[in-house]
Structure 1
């Protein structure tokens, strides 16, 4: 019972982690929309926090547009506005002047920016080219990039852009510094995150908010980056560890209309030692950004929120560790509640557990500025509850599942599923299809059993069969039957396995490898070691439920099966472990190491077949294969003396037993040449 519950927990946890980290677009949009409700809850509770005091937006709003005309204004007006902000500690422009205007107006703007000495000009990156960036502009931009950063990996995970919409050189030249102001929305088009740094032309540029904070505090930015992006970013006491910060929005934004400043309604001393961000809020200019708290928020307000969040330290701290830990704790809570036997006691506790994802993250958000996702813990806890209750319901059907488990010991899982879904499939009859058949037999089993008691023989076979059968089933094979000490397995039945020949060959190699482990187990039981031979053949056969109405079994019959059995027996002759027919080799797609062994005619078949040894990949075996197949070619061409020399070398240097067999044959044919037209076929008279 514990095992099943734990497996369900494991599956739900894996599913959660997959969805969480893969972030399917549709699910992510759904999650974002639900999570945004927290801001509404915060507002309803009256828990709104206050922005940084010395921060203000100078808004080019509807009132200003009505007074001075549509944007862009004559740059003399903009210059006048900037002149009136000279007492501010730093001024950020959420505006770009990418083209020249009339010379007199431009000169007025250049002079105002230069004389103030406190202006951070803005620019933005693009995914496509809109202007030609000169070397002069690049040089000015370089002065705005971060000089102090440390790269901890060969590649860096910072968003990179290839194109830029920059200010004209004179603006850059007269500015205190510059920074980018474009922000990317989340997958649903809503703006929740604010970037820290972007990469352009091998240089790392800070965002407008970051640059404003830097100059307000008169502190340099220290940056460490790795393949995931920002690992560590410091400005004074402010520390970040992500490419973005999650914005913690304010109910009120401190705003001053540009027209009030220009017409003398606001004294310049109001801005003394403050951070000022100049931007457009008039809706007709279309600098509108939908956010969780306002579908029509002006873009300049995002910079305001980011600056305030950084200076107050109240940006939202989100982390995969927070989300995963919280979800796992809830799932473990459900796991514990599931052990309560009576449903009437379980249900209230389940409801309590499901309420926690709404309560705890909301409290942490409001009072600790910690952002923990609510939707995932709720959904996957609910999913786990459903799964546990379904398990409880069907647990009464234990007898049926025990029966299924018993069948699984003898048949492949695919066959069992087919039987469960369609019991009538156990009726008589069969179908003809291409299959690959594998026979495995224990060498000298009769000699081994003569020294053992019946109990020891049964114990030995159980250990051997258990290990080998698992390998067959793991490789999508059907355990057809045990025949004494032999195993017959079929691949590509009853369900289609496209690479069935490959599966059979892999099974054979795995069986030979696993035999070492089996022998160690046998040794611990004071039982003798085993050696096996395996034969594999591919072809068409009758496969299905064959027998009488009183007794039948799912099996395969035909020449394909018989040849596989004969090939298994040939291992005794050649001293090999695995012999494969030419028909199987021709179907194999994987890169196995096959050594052509011989051309033979087995008992019961008129047609000859070329046989191959399936070998473990090694340099030694590759060398043996090359030399042996070269010798075999001479042998087939009746060049027995040349073949004899190579086979002898293989036998002496490598103790290769197939070479010994072909060496003896070559020596025989040197003395007793075969008849004219001999095709290199060796006929076996016995099984």
Structure 2
């Protein structure tokens, strides 16, 4: 078997494997999107909707003269007004709209945005004349235009705008695309001449039908058509028309009369995120037209309603049955589009924009979480990686929410997918590559090491290098064999010998491991083991002495239990018509060299040194059925209460060593009243 190094300092191959997993985790989402560009877009957009829904409501623009009153309101044409006041089915008489415009003029409304199309003359020219006159007197009305969008790269398809005074002239720079206008549908010429502004009301829902982004400007020949909301904002803020700058794929910028910069982030297609302030009707005041008509029936009611609109920007919209001007948005699936103008206008007035993450922010959001997981994989196993994954995932979800609250839309799908793929790959790498040494260690030596050692290795793999490296340490060495086993083998059937050895060695090994012994080897009927190698070193002389006492006491206890167990085995063997056997045990404590003393082709986790030879000689000199201990072992076991204090010593010259030694013979009967029932274990 090829030798391996166990949780030594990291090898470069191990580090490279972990880093490769992280690179794959980061690259996989990018490659998938490269192959299928729209693969993750529906889920990503869903996470944006979720962020809208869990975000606190954002402030709305306030009336500068009435701090408690919103500056943006809506008048909704409703079915009740048509029914109660005889307005009939839609479209209504245009003189009704003229009355609304005239009413708002008298009320002192700042700007009126009519979200209704008047593109064809009425059958009654008087209706159109009255509406045009009311519009001219008000001087604050913005009407919508609609058109067929075309691509900017086809100049021949771009329309000429018939009302150039309403166009924006902007300094355009950078790279990217700005949408352009094809076929135009304009208001009546009289309304164009009388209006304070024109603005587009184009809708650009995403692929799932939800309206999240719109272009604020569309290119025409000679300039740009603003949205109704941008036209109203420029009027509200008294923007400098010569200050407008457009940087493709990045921003639209202009200066207010106070010389403050307003910067609108846009994407590569010229669209800006709509920063919805909340669900429909939750953030802006809606006045049903039927209610206004009712209030106008009395002098007191007229005075009350006139005060409601002073200084306000008002959107006039159609909510009658069958109007059909609705769209899905992040909060709900049936959203009247008229209020979108106020969400956009509020976003402009409050400078509360949403923007996509910059390339640096997107790269950091993708790479940083995976880098933290990589560090966890280099620092530890699943017990470190999984909690780190959960912590990083939780932190990133929190960052998504907080960044969104601050106006930044960080990517969600790519980082979450990268973290999850990284978790799987890193756990797999730890299990099959980085942790291979520990698994191979356990598979090779697990049957020989005591359970305490295996547990220690699992809890702290960094202990393995120290356990395997050859080093000097004071351990207790244990030898045992069966008396006269060679003679027994000569007269006994080999299969019978095998059964006896299997019973004997299995029983004795279980006892050794239970008492914390490390099985070194079997030598026919002989057993070699040692105690104390698994416990950590250090801690001072007192701690080390306590450790040596424990493992010496455990070795003696194991020997006593083995002798008692032999009595049970002999009774069973005799009952089966077989011979009884006695074993001899020798135990010595001293400094030995312990570790993997084999080669890269054959493991040999063992001990060597004179103290090992002495333990083997003690076993040879021991009485059958008893234990023979060195002075050091006896003193240590006695200190733990395993042996009596008055056990007599006998001086023996050990064969092959040529020196006298004080030894202590022990039998189970001599110490039955002292022997503990459990091994002596380290304090936790």
Q: CA deviation at 1:190?
A: 0.3
CA deviation map 1:193-230 (0-9, x unaligned):
23211112353111111110110111135333355364
Contact 1:25 1:187 in 2 (8 A): no
SS in 1 for 2:244: strand
- Match among 179, 186, 191 for residue 206 of structure 2: 186
Contact 1:194 1:246 in 2 (8 A): yes
* Distance in 2, Cα, partners of 1:329 & 1:288: 41
Q: CA deviation at 1:280?
A: 2.0
* Distance in 2, Cα, partners of 1:139 & 1:193: 24
Q: Which TM-score applies when normalising by structure 1?
A: 0.52
* Distance in 2, Cα, partners of 1:59 & 1:339: 63
CA deviation map 1:275-304 (0-9, x unaligned):
111122345211111111121110011111
CA deviation map 1:456-513 (0-9, x unaligned):
xxxxxxxxxxxxxxxxxxxxxxxxxxxxxxxxxxxxxxxxxxxxxxxxxxxxxxxxxx
Change (3 A) 1:180 1:6: same
Change (3 A) 1:312 1:10: same
CA deviation map 1:428-461 (0-9, x unaligned):
xxxxxxxxxxxxxxxxxxxxxxxxxxxxxxxxxx
Equivalent position of 2:26 in the other structure: 13
Change (3 A) 1:250 1:390: same
- Match among 284, 287, 294 for residue 256 of structure 1: 287
- Match among 408, 426, 429 for residue 370 of structure 1: 408
- Match among 217, 228, 232 for residue 212 of structure 1: 232
Q: Does 1:303 align with 2:341?
A: yes
Q: Does 1:93 align with 2:120?
A: no
- Match among 164, 167, 172 for residue 184 of structure 2: 164
* Distance in 1, Cα, partners of 2:50 & 2:403: 14
SS in 2 for 1:185: coil
Change (3 A) 1:66 1:372: farther
Contact 2:315 2:338 in 1 (8 A): yes
Q: Does 1:49 align with 2:58?
A: yes
Contact 2:33 2:39 in 1 (8 A): no
Equivalent position of 1:246 in the other structure: 273
* Distance in 2, Cα, partners of 1:152 & 1:261: 47
- Match among 167, 186, 189 for residue 145 of structure 1: 167
- Match among 394, 400, 404 for residue 361 of structure 1: 400
- Match among 48, 62, 70 for residue 35 of structure 1: 48
Q: CA deviation at 1:139?
A: 5.9
* Distance in 1, Cα, partners of 2:104 & 2:404: 36
SS in 1 for 2:214: strand
Q: CA deviation at 1:394?
A: 3.2
SS in 1 for 2:207: coil
* Distance in 2, Cα, partners of 1:202 & 1:338: 60
Q: CA deviation at 1:250?
A: 2.6
Equivalent position of 1:539 in the other structure: none
Report the count of equivalent residues.
384
Contact 2:33 2:40 in 1 (8 A): no
Change (3 A) 1:375 1:213: same
SS in 2 for 1:85: helix
CA deviation map 1:323-354 (0-9, x unaligned):
33222221211221121222122211111112
Q: CA deviation at 1:114?
A: 0.7
Contact 2:76 2:288 in 1 (8 A): yes
Q: CA deviation at 1:90?
A: 1.1
SS in 2 for 1:126: strand
Q: Does 1:25 align with 2:38?
A: yes
Q: Does 1:328 align with 2:367?
A: yes
SS in 1 for 2:333: coil
Gaps of 5+ in 2: 1-13, 62-69, 151-158, 438-684
Equivalent position of 2:10 in the other structure: none
Change (3 A) 1:379 1:286: same
SS in 2 for 1:178: strand
* Distance in 2, Cα, partners of 1:29 & 1:234: 36
Change (3 A) 1:171 1:396: same
Equivalent position of 2:138 in the other structure: 116
Contact 2:115 2:317 in 1 (8 A): yes
Change (3 A) 1:349 1:156: closer
Contact 2:160 2:220 in 1 (8 A): no
SS in 1 for 2:118: coil
What is the RMSD computed on CA atoms of the aligned residues? 2.6
Contact 2:73 2:315 in 1 (8 A): yes
* Distance in 2, Cα, partners of 1:23 & 1:269: 56
* Distance in 1, Cα, partners of 2:133 & 2:377: 74
Give the greater-gyration-radius structure (CA): 2
Aligned 1:277-676 pairs, distance under 5 A: 277-282=315-320, 284-321=322-359, 322-366=361-405, 368-395=406-433
Change (3 A) 1:175 1:20: farther
Change (3 A) 1:396 1:4: closer
Equivalent position of 2:675 in the other structure: none
Higher relative contact order (CA 8 A, sep 6+): 2
Change (3 A) 1:23 1:80: farther
Change (3 A) 1:23 1:248: farther
Gaps of 5+ in 1: 129-136, 400-687
* Distance in 1, Cα, partners of 2:252 & 2:144: 25
Contact 2:111 2:314 in 1 (8 A): yes
Q: CA deviation at 1:124?
A: 1.5
Contact 1:93 1:277 in 2 (8 A): yes
CA deviation map 1:382-415 (0-9, x unaligned):
112212222233327989xxxxxxxxxxxxxxxx
Q: Which TM-score applies when normalising by structure 2?
A: 0.52
Q: Structure 1 residues 5-14 or 303-312, which shifts more?
A: 5-14
Contact 1:337 1:346 in 2 (8 A): yes
